[in-house]
Structure 1
Amino acid sequence: MKFISIANQKGGVGKTTTAINLSACLAEKGYSTLLVDVDPQSNATSGVGFSLDSGKSLFPVLIGEQLLKDQIISTPYMNLDLIPANLELANWENQQHDPIESFSFFRKIFRESLIGTAYQYVILDCPPALGLLMVNSMVAADWLIIPIQCEYYALEGLAKMFQLLDNLKKLVSSAPNILGILMTMYDSRTNLSQQVVEDVRKHIPNLVFDTIIPRTVRLAEAPSYGKPITLYDPHSIGCISYRKFTEEFLKKIK
């Protein structure tokens, strides 16, 4: 079982789109996959077709009222399960916590609760805010994928993520390694997108995935129908790109 967090403290860079569609592509290939929504905005939850009042949530697990396994929902998609989120998650983050011990809180819960299950991949969709939910989701993972939008401030956001990881490694023994950086929302019509890709690959060539996720209408539409792109439009360029990314992911993580 491998735990992967999709994280970036910057919003709007394709974290949830990547979490949903990587999970769906893994499930499509026959891998038993659990998608965990750790964002109070609950976009991953709605993005696979569930409402915020589904009756399940990560929150009661965090406050000790429910077991993790009892909050897992079977999705309509073969091999893909979900632990939903709701707005209550923000309440947990606002509670008082021991700063250091709380960093590994999720890791302890997930590792203990999912032992013996059939899941091969657990994908955590992190919130776009530097707080305990994001830090816990990162520390819970073996590997980190950082999506970055092909825009002007891409490298600046990456620098902040690298600094956060450096700080975590000084505080906990289980900080994740970076599996790769995924370039998203690429627009081939603009010089800016091309320049950003060149700059990122120049500065950190060994960490950038070869696959680039384009900006497409179909990828943007899919969440409103509660479907991953593999079900919404399996022949679209967005779906082809995420399937290609999944192949690259599997080669890197083995």
Structure 2
Amino acid sequence: MIRVAIANQKGGVGKTTTAINIATAMAATGWRVLLIDLDPQGNASTGIGVGTAERTTSSYDLLVDQAPLAECVMPTRIPGLDLVPATVDLSGAEVELVAVDNRTDRLRDALNGGAGAAYDVCFIDCPPSLGLLTLNALCAADTLLVPLQCEFFALEGLSQLLQTVERVQQRFNPNLGIVGVALTMFDRRNRLTDQVADDVRSCLGSLVFESVIPRNVRLSEAPSHGLPALVYDHTCTGSRAYMALARELISRLPERKKAA
């Protein structure tokens, strides 16, 4: 199972939207997909149609109580896509795990169990911070996907994230890589958007995905209906962009781990 963390410590850059729609796109192409919601806000769970009352077990149980992965997974309305939901209890997990010896390895240990073999790829939706929850995701992941909003302040956040990744590689997970940077909220009417995109591409080169995610009202509407945009309106520009991004992502994943 390939493990992909979707992280950026800056909020509002499209992490959850990217996680939901990339997971849906890959499930639609025949991959067996697991989505883990590690954000205490639980937006990925809500956006995929799992209400608060349905979340009997969650990523909190997985990390803090070390419940087996199989007990925390629940099906979604998307064929081929399962979810480990998040609840507000997760907000206290960082405090509760501080005194635990293996606090950075809780998620990695959970995914190493037999239940993980049922999936081809696991996406981990991280909170907008570089705390213990995100650190667990980076320690468990094979690679990192970084959504980057096309605004100036996002560039500063990117440099901080890259420094964090380097420290994680040195101390916890030497095999962690970066599969790519996805430009989100792209607005061609705004000159700054093009300038930021050019700066990122000149700095990171081929690491930046060719596909860009535009500002699109249908992407914003979809979560209120509990649906990924690819299900809510598969013809909108946002959905088409995520399908193109999923194709690019698949081409970058390790050959030996790709689904048949």
Q: TM-score range by the shorter chain?
A: over 0.9
CA distance in 1, matches of 2:29, 2:242: 12
| Unmatched tracts of structure 1, length 5 or more | none
Q: Which residue of 1 aligns with 2:258?
A: none
Q: 1:177 to 1:51 in 2, by over 3 A?
A: same
Work out the CA distance in 1 between the residues paired with 2:72 and 2:10. Answer: 28
- The CA distance in 2 between the partners of 1:35 and 1:61, in whole Å, is 13
Aligned residue in 2 for 1:4:
4
Normalised by the length of structure 2, the TM-score is 0.93
Report the equivalent of 1:68.
69
The residue identity in structure 1 corresponding to 2:149 is Q
- Go from structure 1 to structure 2 and tell me whether the alpha carbon gap of 1:65 and 1:203 turns closer, same or farther (over 3 Å shift): closer
Contact 1:186-1:213 at 8 Å conserved across structures: yes
The alpha-carbon distance between structure 1 residues 12 and 144, as it changes in their structure 2 partners (threshold 3 A), is same
- Quote how far apart the aligned CAs of 1:247 are: 0.4
Instruction: Tell whether the 8 Å contact from 2:138 to 2:168 is kept in structure 1 after alignment.
Output: no
- SS for the counterpart of 2:53 is coil
Q: Which amino acid aligns with 1:11?
A: G
Deviation at 1:138, TM superposition (A): 1.4
Aligned residue for 2:244? 244
Whether the 8 Å contact between 1:26 and 1:33 is mirrored in structure 2 is yes
Q: CA separation of 1:171/1:218 partners in 2, compared to 1, >3 Å: closer, same or farther?
A: same
Normalised by the size of structure 1, how large is the TM-score? 0.95
Amino acid at match of 2:108: R
What's the counterpart of residue 79 of structure 2?
78
Q: Distance in 2 between matches of 1:98 and 1:106?
A: 16
1:14 maps to what in 2? 14
Q: SS at 1:148's partner residue?
A: strand
- CA 166–232 in structure 1, closer or farther in 2 if over 3 Å, else same: same
Report the Cα distance in structure 1 between the residues aligned to 2:162 and 2:65, rounded to whole angstroms.
Answer: 32
**Is the 1:141–1:176 contact (alpha carbons within 8 Å) kept by the matching residues of 2?**
yes
1:1-254 matched pairs, under 5 angstroms: 1-54=1-54, 55-64=56-65, 66-97=67-98, 101-117=102-118, 119-174=119-174, 176-253=176-253, 254=255
**Do 1:168 and 1:175's aligned partners in 2 also have CA atoms closer than 8 Å?**
no
**% identical aligned pairs:** 38
C-alpha separation in 2, matches of 1:91 and 1:78:
32
Deviation at 1:3, TM superposition (A): 0.5
Q: 1:59-104 CA distances to partner (integer Å, 9 max, x unpaired)?
A: 1222336322111111111111111000101111112535873222
SS at match of 2:88: coil
Kindly provide the amino acid, as one letter, of the partner of residue 101 in structure 1: N
Q: Runs of 4+ in structure 1 displaced over 3 angstroms?
A: 98-101
Which segments of 5 or more consecutive residues in structure 2 lack a partner in the other structure? 256-260
1:168 deviation in Å? 1.2
Return 61-70 or 85-94, whichever deviates more.
61-70
Deviation, 1:166, is 1.3
Deviation at 1:113, TM superposition (A): 4.5
Letter in 1 for 2:121: Y
C-alpha separation between the residues in 2 aligned to 1:31 and 1:137?
Answer: 21
* Counterpart secondary structure, 1:210: strand
* Kept in 1: contact 2:213–2:242 (CA 8 A): yes
1:118-171 superposed Cα distances (whole Å, 9 cap, x missing partner): x11101000001110011011111010000100011221110011101111221
C-alpha distance after superposition, 1:211-240 (max 9, x if no partner): 000010000111111101111001111110
TM-superposed CA distance for 1:241, in Å, is: 0.3
CA contact (8 A) 1:42 1:86 kept: yes
Secondary structure in 2 matching 1:77: coil
Question: Following the alignment from structure 1 to structure 2, what is the Cα–Cα distance between the partners of residues 180 and 10?
Answer: 17
1:36 match: secondary structure = strand
Distance (whole Å) between structure 1 residues aligned to residue 66 and residue 210 of structure 2: 43
Q: Does the aligned pair in 2 maintain the 1:6–1:15 contact within 8 Å?
A: yes
Question: Separation in 2 of the partners of 1:157 and 1:210?
Answer: 21
